Amino acid sequence: MSQIRGRFSKAADKLVQQYTQSIDFDYRLGSVDAMAGIVHARMLAKQGIISKKEAKQIIDGLEAILSELEQRTFNLQPELEDIHMNIEARLIEKIGDVGRKLHTARSRNDQVATDIRLYLMVGILTTIGAIRELERSIVDVAEKNIDVIAPGYTHLQRAQPVLLAHHLMAYFEMLERDVERFWGCMKRTSVLPLGSGALAGVPYPIDRQFVAKELGFEEISQNSIDAVSDRDFILEYEFNASVCMMHISRLSEELVLWSSAEFDFIEIDDAFTTGSSIMPQKKNPDVAELARGKTGRVYGSLMALLTTMKGLPLAYDRDLQEDKEGIFDSSDTLLDTINIFSEMLRNISIKTGKLQSAVQQSYMLATDIADYLVKKGEPFRTAHAKTGKIVRFAMENGKALNQLTIQEYKKFSSLFDNDVFKITVESSIAARNQIGGTAKEQVTKQLARARAILREYDEELSKY
């Protein structure tokens, strides 16, 4: 450390070293740091800032270090604070004093900002790929159960019959918005900060466009002060991850409910459940429950970084070291959750008999009866009130709506005729044949659209 602590007459206190070190978690940035260093060295040689011979020595050394990192043989030294200083120290150890030239025309501030962006760019693409697989699982289950009718709910009360596939495809739409948000985050993450120095830029004839192209960045930062202190892209990922986890948490809640004895609509495969330590009969939906719980964990990382950022003056402050643990944990949690849900959904058993019974043994066709009266000329509010009275009459007499006689119907409106008995669960589904509706024709179109989206993604992926 004496080589880089020229300003200080003694080493930092051991407690300070332990308190300020970040190597315990930022070691993950090792590979992208080495790769960014390689490109930086090429640029320095290209611009005549260092010689080609020196650049080759540096690049060879970094490639060897990259191999050590990938093979997990790299020896981390906590006293060097972070992965960046560890790599630089190892480079000097391997190739001598020429290794000290790598840090020409860069600061640890723009170096770290570049590394975390590179790491997150890969993370975003991986996240999008995982979401696509979860979407594929949803479409698979929906297609397999295209004719299954389920009770639709509002306020957790049975409301109207829907196709189960239509219900499942609501989650496809949520996830599709998640994908769009992550693509937007990718655009704002893919901005190169390297070349900003500590905060004011660097006094060397560097070629930032070359570095951006070599590292895969779409744009170059336009303000050096903002570039080293900006963490909006991490906040955006954290927000997107939080929304995506919220969507999965909503699905988790339904899986927990549907697998309970009170609903009994589905059975989750044994491989994705656990037993009780004391009650032999129990089959707990632990995966869904954990996903629901881990959602709060991801929210926490978002709120922690928002709180960290809210009081920071420009430019870089050491507080920003706190950006990494949260993003690493959030990306891990999100990916693990998405991946396990992709498999769990494919192995869920749908209890069609239970769903059919739930649909038939309720008053979910009341809206269709109100619509029947409207089509006969009754104002909707009047039809709504009359149908409410019919439901109450049926309940008081222990009858289902389809068990009422035509005489009983006519007590509430002379507009009723025998065609009221044509109102069934199936006719209710078929009647909602508008874009976005639950009619089979519309759901089939939804599924075809989803397949086209997934196919387009696969085709784009195959180009790389």
Does residue 136 sit in helix, strand or coil? helix
CATH of 14-104, one of 1.10.10.10, 3.90.1150.200, 2.30.38.10, 1.10.275.10: 1.10.275.10
Which pairing describes strands 266-267 and 349-350: parallel, antiparallel, or unpaired? antiparallel
- Which one-letter DSSP state was computed for residue 11? P
Nearest C-alpha neighbor of 302 from the set 333, 330, 328, 336? 330
Q: What is the pTM of this model?
A: 0.93
- Reported as a single tens digit per residue, the pLDDT across 238-265 is 999 999 999 999 999 999 999 999 999 9
Tokens of 277: 């330590």
Per-position pLDDT tens, the chain of length 464:
434 556 677 777 778 877 878 888 889 999 999 999 999 999 999 999 999 999 999 999 999 999 999 999 999 998 898 999 999 999 999 999 999 999 999 999 999 999 999 999 999 999 999 999 999 999 999 999 999 999 999 999 999 999 999 999 999 999 999 999 999 999 999 999 999 999 999 999 999 999 999 999 999 999 999 999 999 999 999 999 999 999 999 999 999 999 999 999 999 999 999 988 888 888 999 999 999 999 999 999 999 999 999 999 999 999 999 999 999 999 999 999 999 999 999 999 999 999 999 998 889 999 999 999 999 999 999 999 999 999 999 999 999 998 999 999 999 999 999 999 999 999 999 999 999 999 999 999 999 999 999 999 999 888 76
Tokens of 84: 């960046």
- Which residues are part of the catalytic machinery? 155, 276
Question: How many CA atoms lie within 13 Å of 308's alpha carbon, on the beta-carbon side?
Answer: 23
What residue spans define the domains of the chain? Answer: 14-104, 109-357, 361-461
Does residue 198 sit in helix, strand or coil? coil
- Reported as a single tens digit per residue, the pLDDT across 330-367 is 999 999 999 999 999 999 999 999 999 999 888 999 99
Contact 107, 228 (CB under 8 A): yes
Please say whether the structural domain 109-357 has been given the CATH code 1.10.10.60.
no
Nearest C-alpha neighbor of 271 from the set 285, 290, 292, 258? 285
What kind and span of H or E run contains 121? helix 108-144
pLDDT of residue 2: 39
Please say whether the structural domain 361-461 has been given the CATH code 1.10.40.30.
yes
